[in-house]
Amino acid sequence: MNKIRVLTVDWQGEDRAKEHLFIHRQPLAALQNPQAASLPAADCLLLPADQLAAISPRAQAIIGLPVIIALPGRDDTSAIADVLDRADSFLFADDSVETRLAILAAAVRPHGHGEVREISNGTARTIHALSADAGRIAEALAKLAAQPPVAPDEVAIDAALVRRILKLRRERTRFLPAEIFADPAWDMLLDLTAARLEDKQVPVSSLCIAAAVPTTTALRWIRSLSEAGLLERSTDPRDARRTWIGLTPSAADAMLAWLRLFASQFAPRG
């Protein structure tokens, strides 16, 4: 493939991938005031979270490149909380070279929206960041979506039902240790389903809170679920500096199919 042109201030990790990358280093001041600077042509902007925090959303919009944040190895939420909703993707300190290249390539040439992708069809082989758990979720939802659905007029599904499920999941910690119930992927999918039914937009930062796990753990899951074809990003049409995250159409169909099946088990029987 063609080399990916990366605009950065400083990024530790490119040495092992030089044959695939053109690294364009610029002073931070040039990115803070891009109108006065002559920036080289690039495919993406890659910066540590604290450096992106120093660049205003307006300057970022002027630069106009996909933004990838290189996250610290520790779960330092204070360093990334203000920039989560301004990034197109994330790199983690322990990512392999193959994963970094795949994430950069995906940000530059995003996947089209569409069906939940089967892991056996190549996702796990080409995007090494995808976790096995996210892959299993994608496969399970794809199979569920393919099953004959419960008729919509038989079982009513609304956001209140989904919120009750989430509340009950939280109530478990009153009786048993919270750490045995960590399931951020399912919490995210339920939260996004409720938001979709409420016709609400969800930023990445809010989804991390809904996951009820450390922020960097939540971001790993968001990235994995995105690569599994379950989540997609969209730009706020009123503010191009802000992005939302939601379910792909196929993932939404699968979640509603499961909710109808769930609700049907508790519906009054004549």
- Give the domain CATH number at 202: 1.10.10.10
Please tell me the total count of domains within the chain. 2
Same domain, 121 and 100: no
Q: How many CB atoms lie within 10 A of CB 153?
A: 6
Same domain, 62 and 135: no
Where a domain ends, among 89, 110, 131?
110
Q: What is the pLDDT confidence band of residue 243, given thresholds at 50, 70 and 90?
A: confident
pLDDT in tens, 73-110: 665 555 566 788 888 888 888 888 888 888 888 888 75
Q: In what helix (H) or strand (E) does residue 4 lie, and over which residues does it extend?
A: strand 4-8
Measured CA angle at 195 (ends 78, 207), to 5 deg: 20
Same domain, 178 and 103: no
pLDDT in tens, 133-185: 666 666 766 666 666 655 555 667 889 989 998 888 888 878 877 777 778 88
Same domain, 85 and 200: no
Same domain, 150 and 50: no
Same domain, 199 and 249: yes
Q: What is the pTM of this model?
A: 0.72
For 222, residues 6+ apart whose C-beta sits below 8 A from its C-beta are 90, 188, 204, 207, 208, 231, 245
pLDDT score of 252 more than 70 = yes
Same domain, 246 and 175: yes
pLDDT in tens, 181-207: 778 889 999 999 999 999 999 998 889
Domain hosting residue 31, numbered range: 1-110
